[in-house]
A and B are shown apart, each in its own frame.
Chain A
Amino acid sequence: MGSLQLKSIRKAYGSHEVLKGIDLEVKDGEFVIFVGPSGCGKSTLLRTIAGLEDATSGSVQIDGTEVGHVAPAKRGIAMVFQSYALYPHLTVKDNMGLGLKQAGKPKTEIDDKVGKAASMLSLDPYLARRPAELSGGQRQRVAIGRAIVREPKLFLFDEPLSNLDAALRVNTRLEIARLHRSLKATMIYVTHDQVEAMTLADKIVVLNAGQIEQIGSPMDLYNRPANVFVAGFIGSPQMNFIEGARLGDISAKTIGIRPEHMALSRESGDWKGKVVHVEHLGADTIVYIDSEQVGLITVRLFGEHRYAPDDIVYATPMVGSMHRFGDDDRVLA
């Protein structure tokens, strides 16, 4: 079991409000990701759930029990930190077993659980080593192992992959996805990387300036962003935003269209423009176009294309791919 309810969580440092009333429900076994730009309050929210920070007001319930005044160790949670936060003077085995030891569990039980977690993460050969003798990826696996050993109701991940290099990041991401499937545990994960969010999450919570902008499955957010912020945050390259008036649509303030939802042609099309820059990525070609009618836009084409700067091209949006946003930046029905 591991469900979580947040009710109007507020957190202020002095007069500066970091969280402005967060309501959220996480069901047992869900993988929920908090995503948002730096300083949006996502880490603070995670720390509030962990009990490392006290909310100024609001309630946190784990499995229906109010935990506002419960110490972090007694909340049934485990946390994985960005900086690994391994105890430098303890061996891998002791690092993983410390929580259980503090809880007064018998030694045989601790050894058993540490052994299981270690084999799950292929850490067996390193059990006697100290953190300083491990690579970054191994350290993060130990940190994940330390969380597994506690058999928590909630796993909390605070940007666990940010300190790893690109290749390791992909591997560890797969590892976490695999763990979630095999443990069927509730996981809450903070990241600013939308690729991690899209690939891992059952449910993404987009935060901005201390407020929830939208909650939904990855494809929900991609296909039906609720507002300009979410539309711009999810998807890479970023969605093109064009003033509604430029397209003759006076009811919409902004019209959004994803770079991959446009076709490009040298002969004819809706918007004429000049190529400013081209990025060849192999699988994709990203073309930046300066168009008289709609301004600077980005078009993402699949495969290789031979466009060069100063070419004259025509871009055409695909039918039904436009997102229309009103004066309050919210999506229009």
Chain B
Amino acid sequence: MSKARDSFLRTGFVHVALIAYTLVSLFPVFLTIINSFKDRNAIFRAPLTIPTPQTFSLIGYETVLGQGDFATYFQNSFIVTIVSIALVLLFGAMAAFALSEYRFRGNTVMGLYLAIGIMIPIRLGTVAILQGMVAANLVNTLTALILVYTAQGLPLAIFILSEFMRTVSDDLKNAGRIDGLSEYSIFFRLVLPLVRPAMATVAVFTMIPIWNDLWFPLILAPAEATKTVTLGSQIFIGQFVTNWNAVLAALSLAILPVLVLYVIFSRQLIRGITAGAVK
């Protein structure tokens, strides 16, 4: 923004709006975290106050970690999320490369078909997916979740990545062909490094819904050995009694890994989001 057009009032309004939005977004997270450090009575008596020496308590964390299985839940969540992201990025990028690079009959139709997945929620097919998983003997395995999440993430990945791959110079790919690179080397060695910011964007957009999902773990893999963190936290929510300390502690812990992954991707992410708009 140029200094000349910068008026104090204008920047003021922008900042007020941004700060307000930040507060609104962060408030639930803040509430979860402060209450996870309080005892049960304090949570209900004064949910909006920060923990004081009188009300400070680690009972929630003790319950969660004492339960013993949470390490497994975290591990399951990690495996499912990381493997799904990896598969989505790999197959998404390959499909996007094919769609953007090669002229073949049905290219546009194929692109549209793959994009439809963005508009139709995968949960509509839950019954069919469950039947399929039962038939394939995959119920209560992490593989079932990985397969579903890969399918869920692919449409958006292909959509975003194929737009980016169109921007990679044809001359560069042709130079590679003349130098004797195979189409795979061109894809992995020339194109992928250049669309890295877009890959990071896709990784974040793919990661968050997978990590937070409750639906498919509940239906496809509810067994103790395959529970994810989100599903694992539900044991503290009963029909009559809910152990709020434990729920809040579990949720607070579940935020951490997402935050770490986000920080890793975010440097690339900003470039990915602005790449199209700002030259």
Interface contact A79-B169, CB-CB below 8 Å: no
In whole angstroms, how far apart are the Cα atoms of A150 and B179 in the complex?
9
Which stretch (A20-28, A84-92, A193-201, A314-322) binds chain B? A84-92
Q: Mark A73-99, 1 if CB is under 8 A from B, else 0.
A: 110011101111111110000000011
Interface contact B175-A85, CB-CB below 8 Å: yes
Report B-chain residues with C-beta under 8 Å of the C-beta of A166.
none
In whole angstroms, how far apart are the Cα atoms of A85 and B171 in the complex?
5
Determine whether B121 belongs to the interface, using a CB cutoff of 8 Å to chain A.
no
Report A-chain residues with C-beta under 8 Å of the C-beta of B172.
83, 85-87
In whole angstroms, how far apart are the Cα atoms of A295 and B191 in the complex?
56
Determine whether A102 belongs to the interface, using a CB cutoff of 8 Å to chain B.
yes
Question: Which residue of chain B has its CB nearest to the CB of A47?
Answer: B174
User: Which residues in chain B, 189-218, are within 8 Å of chain A measured between CB atoms?
Assistant: 189-190, 193-194
Q: Mark A96-121, 1 if CB is under 8 A from B, else 0.
A: 00110011000000000000000000
Interface contact B180-A73, CB-CB below 8 Å: yes
- Given that A87-B190, A89-B193 are contacting pairs, would A102 and B181 also be in contact in the complex, using a CB cutoff of 8 Å? yes
Of B169, B177, B193, which one neighbours A52 at CB under 8 angstroms? B177
Determine whether B178 belongs to the interface, using a CB cutoff of 8 Å to chain A.
yes
Of B169, B176, B178, B190, which one neighbours A50 at CB under 8 angstroms? B178
- Minimum CB–CB distance from A12 to chain B (whole Å) comes to 13
Report B-chain residues with C-beta under 8 Å of the C-beta of A103.
180
Q: How many chain B residues have a CB neighbour from A under 8 Å?
A: 15
- Minimum CB–CB distance from A108 to chain B (whole Å) comes to 20
In whole angstroms, how far apart are the Cα atoms of A279 and B174 in the complex?
43
In whole angstroms, how far apart are the Cα atoms of A84 and B172 in the complex?
8
User: Which residues in chain A, 127-161, are within 8 Å of chain B measured between CB atoms?
Assistant: 146, 150, 158
Report B-chain residues with C-beta under 8 Å of the C-beta of A84.
171
Interface contact B178-A99, CB-CB below 8 Å: yes
Interface contact A73-B179, CB-CB below 8 Å: yes
Interface contact A79-B194, CB-CB below 8 Å: no
Interface contact B178-A73, CB-CB below 8 Å: yes
- Given that A87-B190, A88-B194, A89-B193 are contacting pairs, would A81 and B179 also be in contact in the complex, using a CB cutoff of 8 Å? no
Determine whether A244 belongs to the interface, using a CB cutoff of 8 Å to chain B.
no
In whole angstroms, how far apart are the Cα atoms of A71 and B177 in the complex?
8
In whole angstroms, how far apart are the Cα atoms of A52 and B178 in the complex?
8
Interface contact B179-A102, CB-CB below 8 Å: yes
Q: How many chain A residues have a CB neighbour from B under 8 Å?
A: 26
In whole angstroms, how far apart are the Cα atoms of A146 and B175 in the complex?
10
Of B169, B178, B180, which one neighbours A83 at CB under 8 angstroms? B169
Determine whether A72 belongs to the interface, using a CB cutoff of 8 Å to chain B.
yes
Report A-chain residues with C-beta under 8 Å of the C-beta of B179.
73, 98-99, 102, 146, 150
Report B-chain residues with C-beta under 8 Å of the C-beta of A83.
169, 171-172
In whole angstroms, how far apart are the Cα atoms of A146 and B171 in the complex?
14
In whole angstroms, how far apart are the Cα atoms of A147 and B187 in the complex?
22
Most buried by B among A72, A74, A85, A88: A85
Interface contact A79-B180, CB-CB below 8 Å: no
Interface contact A81-B174, CB-CB below 8 Å: yes
Question: Which residue of chain A has its CB nearest to the CB of B181?
Answer: A102
Interface contact B174-A85, CB-CB below 8 Å: yes
In whole angstroms, how far apart are the Cα atoms of A87 and B176 in the complex?
8
- Minimum CB–CB distance from B185 to chain A (whole Å) comes to 8
Report A-chain residues with C-beta under 8 Å of the C-beta of B176.
87
In whole angstroms, how far apart are the Cα atoms of A86 and B173 in the complex?
10
Most buried by B among A78, A81, A86: A81
Q: Mark A277-314, 1 if CB is under 8 A from B, else 0.
A: 00000000000000000000000000000000000000
Interface contact A79-B193, CB-CB below 8 Å: no
Of A79, A87, A88, which one neighbours B178 at CB under 8 angstroms? A79
Report A-chain residues with C-beta under 8 Å of the C-beta of B193.
88-89
Question: Which residue of chain A has its CB nearest to the CB of B177?
Answer: A72
Report A-chain residues with C-beta under 8 Å of the C-beta of B194.
88
In whole angstroms, how far apart are the Cα atoms of A50 and B179 in the complex?
12
- Minimum CB–CB distance from B25 to chain A (whole Å) comes to 36
Question: Which residue of chain A has its CB nearest to the CB of B193?
Answer: A89
Report B-chain residues with C-beta under 8 Å of the C-beta of A77.
178
A sample of 23 cross-chain residue pairs with beta-carbon separation below 8 angstroms, ordered by A number, consists of A52-B174, A71-B180, A72-B178, A73-B177, A73-B178, A73-B181, A77-B178, A78-B178, A79-B174, A79-B175, A82-B171, A86-B175, A87-B176, A87-B190, A89-B193, A98-B179, A99-B178, A99-B179, A99-B180, A102-B181, A146-B175, A146-B179, A158-B171
Tell me the B residues contacting A by CB distance below 8 Å. 169, 171-172, 174-181, 189-190, 193-194
Which 7 pairs across A and B sit closest by C-beta, in order of nearness?
Answer: A73-B180, A102-B180, A85-B171, A99-B179, A81-B171, A85-B175, A85-B172
Taking A71-B177, A79-B178, A99-B179 as known contacts, 20 extra A-B pairs with beta carbons closer than 8 A to each other, sorted by chain A number, are: A47-B174, A50-B174, A52-B178, A73-B179, A81-B175, A82-B171, A85-B174, A85-B175, A86-B172, A86-B175, A87-B176, A87-B189, A87-B190, A88-B193, A98-B181, A99-B180, A102-B179, A102-B180, A102-B181, A146-B179
